Structure 1
Amino acid sequence: MLEGKNPRLTLALALQEKARRARRNRLKYYKPYAKQREFHALGARCRERLFSAGNQLGKTFSGAYETAMHATGRYPDWWEGKTFDKATIGWAASVTGELTRDGVQRLLLGRPGLPAERGMAALPADAIKDVRPGTGIPNAVSQIVVRHGGGGDVQAGESVIGFRSYNQGREKFQSETLDYLWFDEEPPVDIYMEGLTRTNTTLGPVYLTFTPLMGMSQTVMRFLVEKAAGTSVVFMGIYDAGHYTKEQADTIVASYPEHEREARAFGKPVLGSGAVFPVPESEIIVTPFAVPDDWPRLCALDLGWDHPTAAVWLAHNLDADIVYLYDVYKRAKQIPAVHASAIKARGAWIPVAWPHDALQTQKDTGVPMRDTYRAEGLNMLPERTQFEDGSIGVEPGIQIMLNRMQTGRFKVFSSCEGWLEEYRLYHRKDGVIVKQMDDAIDASRGGIMSLRFAKTNTVSNFKRYRESWRS
């Protein structure tokens, strides 16, 4: 044969065939980025997952490939997420029928209207048994019947992937019992809850992939504020995606309007003009480092019970006049002794600024919270948090923090996730700051107001200077 007489031709044909097979079974070659893989893995222990990512970073791609795995039962060796060993019934949904067709359908099945591309997306060609057309929208499909598994512990059968759109209304998300449900783009909360109900019998996974451009919607709040049991969130930013160079990513980030940048580039909810601190998170975060002994430090406390008691630790670089928030503590429904123990463990010598409500007496003891914390060994400041003139206004403290952020004089260690979570959500409604999930932010505002009381560790400094003198 010609192939046997021409090794180069034989090799070329073999490579061509290998490429053809790869195009017809892209699921086999799916290699997620670290954030995508983290999102998948959470499915093993969290029923509800949100993949909040920037634009064009691969969030819908991740949803499509996970859906293809649940439909086919073909899970890669590296897979740590939820698995099914039997045929499944699932839905994929988006905002409109057109967006469902052009987004989730395209990534599962191939480009609409091009039958030759069928099987050249997330669903392998040999797994696609039947494609049932939809109505009213050209090239849209209503269902895909998929061959599931076979061999090993995976039962053979036929899975069904159905398609829905939010503009069909909540009623279209009723009746069916589902093994899983994928929402691509943010759903209204009523549709999300109706969809979640479809998996109550199976307790199967419900996963969302979207860029949070609608701000603090009820759907977003379920994951970021309410943090309902069984929910989880993964944020993915442009620098987490391997298909952009840093220079390309920098250019893309700069091209976005400033009030949309956090959402479109980093997957953080847009607060727009309602953001209390309209400063990109990336401009205030720094990598943690060992705080020098000669930088004055201060701890600031915010009291709570149902909502957390919070404490933050600030270090002041006097030479550059930069304040670093280097640690945070948040815990709800615990007695003062528990909080005091955690605070002292970070340095009992550090002065503690405390809010005016610490002067309120406790119902069970009649003792002010300030005195209770003092009795527990905290180095409480003599007076409540206030400015030098005795005022305690919230807005002046906010403006000082904002000014420092805008001028590069307020930085936060990237390890302070409890504080950063609040920063992402801290916003105004009708001009008024929304008092919700703001405990660490309130503590840090008190710390900034009391910065003049920050102290260095004189014992530590004495020992250091003594050792220096001896050497």
Structure 2
Amino acid sequence: MQRAQLLLERSRELFYNYEPYFNRRDGKPGWQWQFLAAAGDYKGRIAIGGNRIGKSDEGAYECVLALTGKHPYRKFPKKGKMWIIGLDYNMVRDVNLPKFNKLLPSNYRVIGVSSFNKSENIWYIKGEDREWIVQFKSSDSGREKFQGDAVDAIWFDEEPSKTDIFNECMRGLIDRAGIWWMTATPVRGTAWLKSQTEKDENFVTTGAMWDNPYIPEEEVAKFAADLPEDEREVRIEGKYIVFGGNPVFKIPVLNAMLADIKHDIPLSTGTLREIQAA
């Protein structure tokens, strides 16, 4: 009876009910399915998409799959280290960490950390005979914070603000033959990220807000109608429109878009569905 109760409780957990969606427009497996399957063949994966398509949810889910050893397409060590990198500390605290924490199965314990703050940005996680160190970092913390370490996996939620940080992260993956993935809305439109999407060794997929079946089409249409054409291409379709070292948009527009990215979107508008057991 006790085991049955445990299985029932676990069946209600978000991690065991993650459901990548099928595209609304053509009914085909969406970008999340493609992104997940590519983990077995690529060291680097990049998901470029519009707002509200579940990019951060998918990124966090991949992290939990890695440390639990339950990734269907790639094996990860029983003991490992992972970096989760957001644009800044507030985004890490308000978006990345909560999404990761909601997906972490209850039989995995965070050791030695009672709450998240700037001095406690490392989680030691144990469960099912596995041990992982997960370190939350912000790309605005400076290059020196990314030097001299070896990691098994890195998730970038949005493109780092500085290319030298990305380069340091790539060096950190060498010793352990680690992999990385990035989920981003290309609001900066930088040339260096475009160059990453053009490399054969990286898998790239795109997603549009129109294809997320959990968002009413009429709401997407209303949102799109109020946007200038260039902003609509990025925020709705997830497309690049200009490349270079400078931001695509004027500073006020860019700041508004970045603020939207950093805002924690309720799971009900994304791709995670909670299934209540009977």
Q: Indicate the TM-score class for this superposition, using the shorter chain for normalisation.
A: 0.7 to 0.9
One-letter amino acid matched to 2:168:
E
Equivalents in 2 of 1:135, 1:122: separation in Å? 20
Pick from 191, 194, 205 the counterpart of residue 179 of structure 2: 205
5 Å-filtered alignment, 1:313-462, equals none
SS of equivalent residue, structure 2 residue 236? helix
* 2:127 counterpart of 1:157: no
CA shift for structure 1 position 250 = 2.0
Q: Which runs of 5+ in 2 are unaligned?
A: 22-29, 244-278
SS of equivalent residue, structure 1 residue 125? coil
Pick from 138, 141, 146 the counterpart of residue 125 of structure 2: 146
Equivalents in 1 of 2:106, 2:188: separation in Å? 37
2:76 — aligned with what?
84
Equivalents in 2 of 1:73, 1:148: separation in Å? 11
Give a deviation string over 1:182-201, Cα, whole Å, max 9, x none: 00011122111111111112
1:69 — aligned with what?
65
* 2:236 counterpart of 1:257: no
Change (3 A) 1:98 1:42: same
Give a deviation string over 1:396-440, Cα, whole Å, max 9, x none: xxxxxxxxxxxxxxxxxxxxxxxxxxxxxxxxxxxxxxxxxxxxx
* 2:167 counterpart of 1:216: no
2:87 — aligned with what?
95
**Cα pair 1:145 1:160 within 8 Å, conserved:** yes
2:15 — aligned with what?
27
* 2:145 counterpart of 1:172: yes
CA RMSD, Structure 1 to Structure 2 (Å):
2.3
2:263 — aligned with what?
none
Change (3 A) 1:107 1:211: same
Give a deviation string over 1:220-274, Cα, whole Å, max 9, x none: 3321xxx2341121100012212123323222222322211111111112429xx
2:156 — aligned with what?
183
**Cα pair 2:49 2:184 within 8 Å, conserved:** yes
Change (3 A) 1:136 1:180: closer
Equivalents in 2 of 1:50, 1:101: separation in Å? 23
Give a deviation string over 1:164-186, Cα, whole Å, max 9, x none: 11111011111111000000011
One-letter amino acid matched to 1:145:
Y
Equivalents in 1 of 2:221, 2:180: separation in Å? 33
CA shift for structure 1 position 99 = 0.8
Equivalents in 2 of 1:148, 1:84: separation in Å? 14
Change (3 A) 1:162 1:215: same
Tell which structure's C-alpha radius of gyration is larger: 1
Change (3 A) 1:163 1:69: same
SS of equivalent residue, structure 1 residue 266? coil
**Sequence identity percentage:** 28
CA shift for structure 1 position 22 = 4.4
One-letter amino acid matched to 2:15:
L
1:124 — aligned with what?
105
Equivalents in 2 of 1:70, 1:32: separation in Å? 17
SS of equivalent residue, structure 1 residue 190? helix
Equivalents in 1 of 2:138, 2:77: separation in Å? 28
**Cα pair 1:95 1:167 within 8 Å, conserved:** yes
Equivalents in 2 of 1:22, 1:262: separation in Å? 39
CA shift for structure 1 position 92 = 0.1
Equivalents in 2 of 1:37, 1:202: separation in Å? 26
Equivalents in 2 of 1:65, 1:135: separation in Å? 22
**Cα pair 1:95 1:185 within 8 Å, conserved:** yes
* 2:208 counterpart of 1:241: no
One-letter amino acid matched to 1:166:
S
Equivalents in 1 of 2:107, 2:122: separation in Å? 17
1:60 — aligned with what?
56
1:230 — aligned with what?
201
2:260 — aligned with what?
none
SS of equivalent residue, structure 1 residue 88? strand
SS of equivalent residue, structure 2 residue 121? strand
One-letter amino acid matched to 2:177:
L
Q: TM-score when scaled to structure 2?
A: 0.75
SS of equivalent residue, structure 1 residue 71? helix
SS of equivalent residue, structure 2 residue 93? helix
Equivalents in 1 of 2:186, 2:112: separation in Å? 32
2:36 — aligned with what?
40
Q: Which runs of 5+ in 1 are unaligned?
A: 1-13, 110-120, 150-155, 273-471
**Cα pair 1:263 1:269 within 8 Å, conserved:** yes
Change (3 A) 1:255 1:82: farther
Count of aligned positions: 229
Q: TM-score when scaled to structure 1?
A: 0.46
2:258 — aligned with what?
none
5 Å-filtered alignment, 1:98-117, equals 98-109=90-101
SS of equivalent residue, structure 2 residue 103? coil
Runs of 4+ in 1 over 6 A off after TM superposition: none
